[in-house]
Chains A and B, each alone.
Chain A
């Protein structure tokens, strides 16, 4: 894949691989992750405003499109909260680094997979688990009851949520015959009835389990007991302000983005575009166009999934943390196991 990147970036052939890797990471972050965060932040605000019979942002830029930019600028200018301590900053930094290291394994298209090992599907979990752990530690280092409770809640939902999510990943890998992104993408095609979620009776269950457990692991809105304002006054995030708060929000957002990209690639056909189109573009040697079209398809699907989650989180009252773990162990986990067994039989019947 490094060679594909070299040709896309027009780099000389003898460029060291490490340099290419770093360049690709910077490019993916600056031109994919960051713009997506801003676009999604805007869409989320507009959608929630619509659902709440409000206008939403409408001052900065056309229809308030640059509101996220002005928010980011505002947060960067703010002074750090006097109660924040160094340990908190360190854990925040660790969470950010772990998360953004997963940009390397972010599946953004068939030609631009930077790391495509047999286990690459499991690699993003590392970032998410470290995010959970660092959020827990951020709470514990605060020396307040609310930070402590927030940390405990984070650990509870993190532990509970990862199990069904991993089982759901196994479900997607079974019919594909491997756990590299290219294997999983190759097992699906542009047609929805070839997507893992719809080409067998258990796909939809695994998809829902994967999305819901992701919301739980990341603590997305109705399941965000750890940073709830109504009784913990912010919980683990209570001390964060200014640039640190911006960083915390961005890494939470990136976690959700990562999870939705994974859901799309695992279950919803990923970046696949019609075979004929790929062939034609490949013949005319226009690899850049393929990359762009695939990225576009992937991001549109990802945004659709994210907006669905935003809608769900807006209309659902917040769940208590014991209810969240109950949901995980008593509902999502059994369903994920059922679908794993189902997937196994289905795959055996299909191939055997």
Chain B
């Protein structure tokens, strides 16, 4: 054996997961490493598969909504909303304006809570514990609002076909305004403490750059696509629940820290989305009309005429689609979800190539993937 052959080094194989702090959830990431540099990465998921779509098909129309909650526990309302919108379209149920407004309020509160969770995870990924604690403390205030209105903090199980399960009270509206004010102040604090911190910029800018072409090709939606420069948002392109009446903007990545579509851009974009959500909340709270909060009463024997529909909602992670088929029975005949995390997962093998091992957690968590909705 010659010296050159003796000294030659091969790539190292390293499998992370299924449980690992750098991963967004239970999944495997198989890496090939050249020293600290990643040569290739493959993902494997399915560890959180619960047969959720099947579970929805085995329960009555109302009970299935409870399962839709579990699609993505961190943003529970969007699973329910997607199923509700599709079912209401097939059945031709009208949703009262007041109920629509309440749905928008809950959606935007959930978006804020989910994005705050994202900020906390990013802070944890780069080892900034104070930021992690501040953000989680403020998210508690949002979860308090859910508890006040629905009795639950995460899986709220609040929507009904044709409306919502309970009316909002005056006290709730006031509390929403208070929390909005608080979060607005806190966003400035987060920016001062963390967003443009030199050390954080060095860890997140120019890392995991997702181009708009690749985002489009891989079916990436939501904040990740917007950070890559695509102005995609179902709330604007196909408004539902009265989003067309609300005046708000869709933030698009500007590449303030490094370049458009890098991990830092995805971070800052979510901060700006929180600002827009506050704006939407303010308008919907101000314009909440009087009236009933549910148009039909749903019993266990409730049936929907045969038909199918596809609904789309803008969840905190991207466009969530729900294809619903009714055969005229008391349960959905077929439920299929098109989850945003699917697109995000596809980007991982491309984004990790050429980065360092220490960047994995930053890249993976900056994509804000929910393994719960990916595996279903």
Chain A contact residues, CB within 8 Å of chain B? 48, 51-54, 145-146, 148-149, 152, 221-222, 225, 228-233, 314-323
- Tell me whether B358 and A320 are in contact (CB under 8 A): yes
- Residue in A52, A145, A152, A221 whose CB lies within 8 Å of B130: A52
Give complex CA distance A316, B203 in Å.
11
Whether A149 contacts B22 in the complex (CB less than 8 A), given A231-B361, A317-B128, A320-B356, comes out as: no
Stretch at the interface among B119-127, B208-216, B231-239, B272-280: B119-127
Chain B residues, CB < 8 A from A145: 12, 14, 33
Give complex CA distance A273, B51 in Å.
74
Chain A residues, CB < 8 A from B292: none
- Tell me whether A222 and B127 are in contact (CB under 8 A): yes
Other A-B pairs, 15, CB within 8 Å; known A145-B33, A221-B127 = A52-B130, A52-B132, A52-B134, A53-B134, A145-B12, A230-B127, A231-B357, A233-B20, A233-B21, A315-B130, A317-B126, A318-B199, A320-B203, A320-B359, A322-B356
Interface assignment of B133: CB less than 8 Å from any CB of chain A: yes
Interface assignment of B50: CB less than 8 Å from any CB of chain A: no
Chain B residues touching A, majority SS: helix
Chain B residues, CB < 8 A from A231: 21-22, 357-358, 360-361
Give complex CA distance A229, B127 in Å.
9
Give complex CA distance A225, B197 in Å.
19
Can you name 8 A-B pairs with beta carbons within 8 Å?
A: A52-B134, A145-B12, A145-B33, A152-B35, A230-B126, A314-B130, A318-B126, A321-B36
- Tell me whether A319 and B202 are in contact (CB under 8 A): yes
Chain B residues, CB < 8 A from A51: 130
Q: Distance in Å from the Cβ of A44 to the closest Cβ of chain B?
A: 13
Chain A residues, CB < 8 A from B357: 149, 231-232
Give complex CA distance A322, B128 in Å.
19
Which residue of the partner chain B has the closest CB to A48?
B129
Give complex CA distance A216, B133 in Å.
26
Give complex CA distance A48, B132 in Å.
13
- Residue in B21, B22, B203 whose CB lies within 8 Å of A317: B203
Chain B residues, CB < 8 A from A233: 20-21
Give the most central of B36, B124, B200: most A CB within 10 Å.
Answer: B36
Q: Distance in Å from the Cβ of A159 to the closest Cβ of chain B?
A: 16
Chain A residues, CB < 8 A from B194: 317
Give complex CA distance A145, B31 in Å.
11
Interface assignment of B300: CB less than 8 Å from any CB of chain A: no
Give complex CA distance A221, B127 in Å.
9
Chain A residues, CB < 8 A from B130: 51-53, 314-315
Give complex CA distance A321, B357 in Å.
10
- Residue in A48, A229, A314, A320 whose CB lies within 8 Å of B21: A229
Chain B residues, CB < 8 A from A54: 133
- Tell me whether A319 and B203 are in contact (CB under 8 A): yes
Give complex CA distance A52, B123 in Å.
12
Q: Distance in Å from the Cβ of B195 to the closest Cβ of chain A?
A: 11
Whether A323 contacts B202 in the complex (CB less than 8 A), given A225-B358, A230-B125, comes out as: yes
Chain A residues, CB < 8 A from B184: none
- Tell me whether B36 and A317 are in contact (CB under 8 A): no
- Tell me whether B129 and A228 are in contact (CB under 8 A): no
Interface residues of B in 331-376 (CB under 8 A from A): 356-361
Chain B residues, CB < 8 A from A146: 14
Q: Distance in Å from the Cβ of B124 to the closest Cβ of chain A?
A: 7
Give complex CA distance A310, B33 in Å.
33
- Tell me whether A228 and B133 are in contact (CB under 8 A): no
Interface assignment of B188: CB less than 8 Å from any CB of chain A: no
Q: Distance in Å from the Cβ of A274 to the closest Cβ of chain B?
A: 40
Give complex CA distance A190, B361 in Å.
49
- Tell me whether B358 and A321 are in contact (CB under 8 A): yes
Give complex CA distance A54, B136 in Å.
12
- Tell me whether A318 and B129 are in contact (CB under 8 A): no
Which residue of the partner chain B has the closest CB to A148?
B12
Nearest 8 Cβ contacts at the A-B interface? A318-B127, A317-B126, A52-B133, A145-B14, A231-B22, A317-B128, A317-B199, A320-B358
Interface assignment of B137: CB less than 8 Å from any CB of chain A: yes
Interface residues of B in 92-139 (CB under 8 A from A): 123-130, 132-134, 137
Chain B residues, CB < 8 A from A53: 130, 133-134, 137
Chain A residues, CB < 8 A from B199: 222, 316-319
Chain B residues, CB < 8 A from A317: 123, 126-128, 194, 197, 199-200, 203
Q: Distance in Å from the Cβ of B123 to the closest Cβ of chain A?
A: 8
- Residue in B33, B35, B129, B134 whose CB lies within 8 Å of A314: B129
- Residue in A225, A230, A316 whose CB lies within 8 Å of B124: A230
Give complex CA distance A317, B357 in Å.
16
Which residue of the partner chain A has the closest CB to B127?
A318
Give complex CA distance A152, B123 in Å.
25
Give complex CA distance A148, B360 in Å.
17
Q: Distance in Å from the Cβ of A350 to the closest Cβ of chain B?
A: 37
- Tell me whether A228 and B358 are in contact (CB under 8 A): yes
Q: Distance in Å from the Cβ of A342 to the closest Cβ of chain B?
A: 26
Chain B residues, CB < 8 A from A221: 127
Give complex CA distance A320, B125 in Å.
12
Give complex CA distance A75, B22 in Å.
26
Give complex CA distance A319, B200 in Å.
8
Q: Distance in Å from the Cβ of B275 to the closest Cβ of chain A?
A: 23
Q: Distance in Å from the Cβ of A149 to the closest Cβ of chain B?
A: 6
Which residue of the partner chain A has the closest CB to B23?
A231
Chain A residues, CB < 8 A from B134: 52-53
Give complex CA distance A229, B132 in Å.
15
Chain B residues, CB < 8 A from A148: 12
Chain A residues, CB < 8 A from B125: 230
Q: Distance in Å from the Cβ of B135 to the closest Cβ of chain A?
A: 11
Give complex CA distance A63, B22 in Å.
35
- Tell me whether B14 and A230 are in contact (CB under 8 A): no
Chain A residues, CB < 8 A from B133: 52-54
- Tell me whether B359 and A230 are in contact (CB under 8 A): no
Which residue of the partner chain B has the closest CB to A322?
B356
Give the most central of B12, B21, B33, B124: most A CB within 10 Å.
Answer: B21
Give the most central of A53, A54, A317, A319: most B CB within 10 Å.
Answer: A317
Which residue of the partner chain A has the closest CB to B207?
A320
Give complex CA distance A152, B197 in Å.
28
